[in-house]
Amino acid sequence: MDNAIQIEHVGKSYKLFKSNKARLLDSIGVKRPGLFEMHHALSDVNFDIKKGETVGIIGTNGAGKSTLLKIITGVITPSEGRLIVDGRISALLELGAGFNMEYTGIENIYLNGTMIGFSREEIDRRMDDILAFADIGDFVHQPVKMYSSGMFVRLAFAVAINIDPEILIVDEALSVGDVFFQAKCYSKFEEFKALGKTILFVSHDLSSIARYCDRVMLLHHGKKLDEGPPKQMIDLYKKVLQETVTRGKGQQNQNAVRSADADNWKQYFTVNPELNEYGNGVANIVDYAIVDEHDNLTATIEKGSRFTIKSKVLFHEAVESPIFTFTFKNVKGVDITGSNTRLEEVEIEPAQAGDVYVASFTQQMSLQGGEYLLSISCTGYVGGELVVYHRLYDLLNVTVVSTKNTVGFYDMDSETEVVKMS
């Protein structure tokens, strides 16, 4: 068989229930119109990956990338279609997802190796390589609940990367740890390519996609938009990011454009189902938006481009000095950056009951390619104490797409010069 992975007419659909009551009625077999809507995460996807190929998958939020990877790795089953996999898979998706926090590092190595299908003897033969790659010293004999987040992902990555898989699936996992560990990860990745391993690579770092991949598939709204050479697909992806979707033979779908002039901005964004919302009710954030440099409403921003965060606030009572804020966190919960109108020294007139204010923060996107959580709020000080009028915490998932990632959380946009001295 020439194909390591063969995907034939694969689709995945979910029921989106109107309420918990609707979910319960459906679970007991009650058939009633309007209990749920069907969400098609993937529709009729066809794709082959040949043995020894390195193939990339790119696409915006909601494109279906994670769903497709979970189907390939067996985490979920497709609603339709057929999947054929020829070879042992190692998936770097959610690092450490199978770890027992009470077990030591060594015990978790054996646990994970056994789950993948290795015998204790086979794990023993790989133990030295795993420990050398993780490089966490004597901590490997301590319960992993005592590890720092960096140590945890180093061990998880070391286990996943050193089991000698025939097919390696990587989803944004090469950016773990410090710069030296990242270099080691990329070196191992290149070693796998040189050995002729089959690699499926998903990343928002388009420079890595262009560098490593032989071929790229572009997903959009659960469907395969196109496939081809990396540069060609990256160029097409940029058109998708501009909300002008070019399909197949050059046809354009202008219906996807969401202009910032539209009413009710928030209807175009997917809100975090775990949103933490609170405040004293003196004011309410009634609308919000992220606007790209093309004046489109979108939660996907290209690194290096200008974008604006907007919040519309209705005041129910008088507020002397309202403060508008935004914050970006990474998916590990670390605050990366943010600002507010007080830090920016913006003078704001006192708000009266019934007033509506719109706050806009415009800046260049300098964060590295990846996923981030955006929070916004309206606050103020009363009697020297901070008061939260309304806060939407972890409101939106924002995707940053990059053609060049540097080290760390953000890009300093360095002007680089190397001069040979004779």
The per-residue pLDDT for range 235-287, each reduced to its tens digit, is 899 888 765 433 433 333 333 446 666 678 998 898 988 899 999 999 999 99
Phi first, then psi: what are they for 93, rounded to 5°? -105, -80
Rounded Cα gap, residues 166 and 38, in angstroms = 36
Is 321 within 8 Å of 380 (Cβ atoms)?
Answer: yes
Model pLDDT, residue 260:
64
**Of 277, 275, 263, 276, the residue nearest 312 (C-alpha):** 263
Which band of pLDDT confidence, cut at 50, 70 and 90, is reported for residue 306?
Answer: very high
Residues sharing a CB contact under 8 Å with residue 203, sequence separation 6 or more, in sequence order = 56, 58, 170, 171, 172, 174, 209, 369
For residues 300 and 401, give the distance between their C-alpha atoms in angstroms, rounded to a whole number: 7
Residue ranges of domains in the chain, CATH in brackets: 3-241 (3.40.50.300), 265-401 (2.70.50.60)
pLDDT > 60? residue 375: yes
Stronger pLDDT, 186 or 104, i.e. the higher one: 104
Cα(73)–Cα(318) distance, integer angstroms: 55
Tokens 């790229």 correspond to what residue?
216
CA gap 376, 22 in Å, rounded: 32
Three-state DSSP class for residue 124 = helix
pLDDT mean over 332-360 = 95
How would you list the strands of the sheet with 356-364, edge to edge?
A: 283-291, 306-315, 356-364
Q: What is the pTM of this model?
A: 0.72
What single letter denotes the amino acid at residue 297? L
Quote the percentage of the chain above a pLDDT of 90: 52
Chain mean position to CA 349: 38
The whole-angstrom separation of Cα 147 and Cα 29 is 46
Pick from 132-141, 239-248, 381-390: least confident: 239-248
State the pLDDT confidence band at 96, using cuts at 50, 70 and 90: low
Alpha helices in 202-275 (DSSP H): 206-212, 230-241
Residue type, 275: L
pLDDT number for residue 90: 80
